[in-house]
Amino acid sequence: MGMTLGFIEVTPERLDGVMGDSEQAEELYDELSDDETVRDAFIEKAWDGIQYLLDEAGVGVELRMDGDPIEHDGDEFNGFPPEVVKSIAESLNAAPFERLAEHYDPADMMARGIYPRIWDTHPAEELEYLSENYAKLREFFDAVARTGNAALGCFSF
C-alpha cells in the first residue's frame, strides 16, 4: 500500500478526547473514515510531492508536523485544533496550485528521493496527480476552518 496521508474533520471535543491515546485516535479515525457524511481529505501518496511544492514555494505548512502528535504504535496520528486548521487553510488559500506548479521539478524531486519516486515517469500526469490532491487538501482545510472544527490526521506506513 505504501505511505499515505489523510485527514478527517472532528469536533474540538472529540479531538481532545483522543489526544494522548493512540488507540482511541485510531478507532475514531477508522470509524469516521467509513462514514460517508464526514468530511475528509485522503491525499494518498501525493503528500511528499505536495510538501516539496509547498516548501519550494515558501508556503509555511508542514502537512505531517503542524498538528499535535498523538503517541502511536504503527500509524502516526496528529491532532489539528481549530486555530491550526484555520492557519493552514489561510496559508493554502493564499497559495493557488499554479504558484506551486512553478516549482515542479521532476529531476530534483527524484534526486531528493521525494516519495513515491515517480515524478520523471510521466511528469505531466504526475503534476495533475499533485494538482488534484492539493485541491482536495485546500477544500478540506477551508471547509473545516469555516465550521470551526478540528482535524485528525493519519500518516500510514
Q: What is the mean pLDDT of each run of 10 residues along the chain (157 residues)?
A: 93 95 92 94 97 98 92 81 98 98 98 97 97 98 98 93
Task: Give the pLDDT confidence score for residue 72 in this predicted structure.
Answer: 66
Task: Give the pLDDT confidence score for residue 1 in this predicted structure.
Answer: 66
Domain limits for position 24: 4-156
State whether residue 5 is helix, strand or coil: strand
Task: Give the pLDDT confidence score for residue 2 in this predicted structure.
Answer: 87
Helix (H) or strand (E) holding 97: helix 97-101
% of the chain residues with pLDDT over 90:
87
How many domains, the chain?
A: 1
Task: Give the pLDDT confidence score for residue 118 in this predicted structure.
Answer: 95
Q: Diameter of the chain by CA atoms?
A: 44
- Using a 10 angstrom Cβ sphere, with 0-12 exposed, 13-18 middle and 19 or more buried, the burial of residue 58 is exposed
**Domain at 49, CATH number:** 3.40.1760.10
